[in-house]
Amino acid sequence: MIKVATIAGSDASGGAGLEADLKTFEEYGLYGMAAVTVIAAMDPENNWSHKVFPLDEAALRAQMETIFKGAGVEAAKSGMLGTFHAVELTREYIESFHVKNYVLDPVMVCKGAGEALNPELNTAIAEKLLPLAQIVTPNLFEAAQLSGLKDIVFLEQMKEAARIIADKGAKHVFIKGGSKLAGAVRAIDLFYDGKNFESVESPLLKTIWTHGAGCTTAAAITSGLAQGLSVYDAVLTAKQFIFKSLEAGFPLNKWVGPGNPSSWRKDTVFKG
């Protein structure tokens, strides 16, 4: 059995965070483990506003010991970290257990939650985790934060950001433009291996039910790497995976709608 782990927040609503990761690992046929960094809960009495409850350092370290010392992994990803000790413990365990297939999803915002989370952590994420990442998977906002560029709305700016982020140590960069690039008629993401750029595209889905799309994409890349795919092939497969998931997205309630990773079991995927 191929073992993979996520170091991430729990999203009690089930669409994002470690819940999305474990669902995705399962669809790839892998054995998933999870170290919980924070617990995110949403208030149905107050417009689904997010509350985040961090776990303390001892609780997180104990989970890291379980996973990395107690079991071992072929690949691991990190998502919402939420505290400095979570950033530092991620660095420590990924480094000391030589996790080559480490996917850094630099979660800085939640869809629907509006505000950036813990902006004071962004520098620590960039300095400590980018140099360990086999691949980093920012959205446009996160790519701007990691690169120091102001606004990223055009493909050329995505390329510039990818170059800067690779210079900070990430071996591969996958910036998710999706529907957000100016004038988008396709969902366009950008892959960079430090030398060449590849545009990774799918048809644009007209949907607002995209909660957890970033987590699912990074978990799918992690799974592909664990199975021995090249980084680029893991990204291409993940793009198919998230397309199918979002195609099957649905409203959970009047505030939020997740994708549906289990739709991977059904056959059609886009071609080209």
- Where b means 16+ CB within 10 Å and e means fewer, 199-235 reads ebbbeebeeebbbbbbbbbbbbbbbbbbbebebbebb
- Residue of 5, 40, 158, 221 that binds ligand PXL (CB under 6 A): 40
Q: Does 106 bind ligand PXL (CB under 6 A)?
A: no
Which of 4, 17, 12 has the alpha carbon at shortest distance from 216? 17
Q: Which is nearer to ligand PXL, 81 or 190 (CB)?
A: 81
Q: Does 249 bind ligand PXL (CB under 6 A)?
A: no
Other CB atoms within a 10 A radius of the CB of residue 240 amount to 15
Quote the distance between the C-alpha of residue 137 and its chain's center.
6
Q: Do 111 and 42 meet the contact criterion of CB atoms below 8 Å apart? A: no
Q: Does 215 bind ligand PXL (CB under 6 A)?
A: yes
Q: How far is the CB of 1 from ligand PXL (least distance, A)?
A: 26
End-to-end CA distance of the chain: 31
- Residue of 16, 55, 152, 162 that binds ligand PXL (CB under 6 A): 16
- Residue of 4, 9, 32, 54 that binds ligand PXL (CB under 6 A): 9
Identify each DSSP E strand in the chain by its residue range.
3-11, 31-43, 49-54, 75-78, 102-104, 135-136, 173-176, 186-192, 197-203
Selected range binding ligand PXL among 4-12, 91-99, 237-245, 258-266, rule: CB under 6 A: 4-12
> Which amino acid is it at 82?
G
Q: Does 17 bind ligand PXL (CB under 6 A)?
A: yes
Selected range binding ligand PXL among 62-70, 107-115, 130-138, 144-152, rule: CB under 6 A: 107-115
Q: Does 11 bind ligand PXL (CB under 6 A)?
A: yes
Q: Which is nearer to ligand PXL, 89 or 110 (CB)?
A: 110
Q: Do 204 and 179 meet the contact criterion of CB atoms below 8 Å apart? A: yes
Q: Does 138 bind ligand PXL (CB under 6 A)?
A: no
Applying CB under 6 A, the site for ligand PXL has a residue count of 15
Q: How far is the CB of 36 from ligand PXL (least distance, A)?
A: 9
Can you give the binding site for ligand PXL, defined by CB under 6 A? 8-11, 16-17, 40, 79-80, 107, 110-111, 212, 214-215
